[in-house]
């Protein structure tokens, strides 16, 4: 069995294929570790893409609600931007 393997390794084409495979697997610019890191990064970017798509959908729904409902727009302006009517006083309570 060992003699058969050694005789195959003496073939210059088989030897070249083995060396080329090892070179591409370990030493090339796009080696195995690089490919694994890129695959992990692609998966993370896909997750981020889904998250941002859902956030965009939520913001679009909120925008439509604010455009259609004046009371909701007023509530949003008061809560987010601390706006007030001219005859009101505004007190901001900060929770630590």
**Contact present, 48 and 54 (Cβ < 8 Å):** no
Question: Residue 38: inside a domain, yes or no?
Answer: no
- Helix ranges restricted to H, the chain: 2-9, 12-22, 32-68, 70-81
Question: Residue 94: inside a domain, yes or no?
Answer: yes
Question: Residue 78: inside a domain, yes or no?
Answer: yes
DSSP secondary structure, 71-92, as one string: HHHHHHHHHHH----TT-----
Number of domains present in the structure of the chain: 1
Mean pLDDT score of the chain, rounded to an integer? Answer: 88
Distance of CA 16 to the CA centre of its chain: 40
Question: Residue 26: inside a domain, yes or no?
Answer: no
| pLDDT, tens only, 44-89 | 999 999 999 999 999 999 999 999 999 988 888 888 888 888 888 8
Question: Residue 30: inside a domain, yes or no?
Answer: no
Question: Residue 31: inside a domain, yes or no?
Answer: no
**Contact present, 85 and 78 (Cβ < 8 Å):** no
Rounded-to-integer distance, Cα 42 and Cα 50, Å: 12
Question: Residue 60: inside a domain, yes or no?
Answer: yes
Question: Residue 20: inside a domain, yes or no?
Answer: no
Note down the domain range covering 71: 44-96
Global pTM reads 0.59
């Amino acid at each position: 069995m060992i003699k058969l393997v050694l005789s195959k390794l003496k073939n210059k084409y088989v030897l070249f294929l083995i060396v080329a495979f090892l070179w591409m697997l370990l030493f090339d610019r796009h080696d195995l570790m690089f490919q694994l890191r890129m695959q992990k990064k692609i998966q993370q970017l896909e997750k981020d893409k889904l998250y941002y798509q859902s956030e965009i959908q939520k913001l679009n729904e909120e925008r439509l609600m604010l455009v259609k409902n004046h009371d909701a727009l007023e509530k949003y302006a008061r809560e987010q931007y601390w706006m007030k009517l001219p005859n009101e006083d505004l007190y901001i309570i900060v929770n630590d």
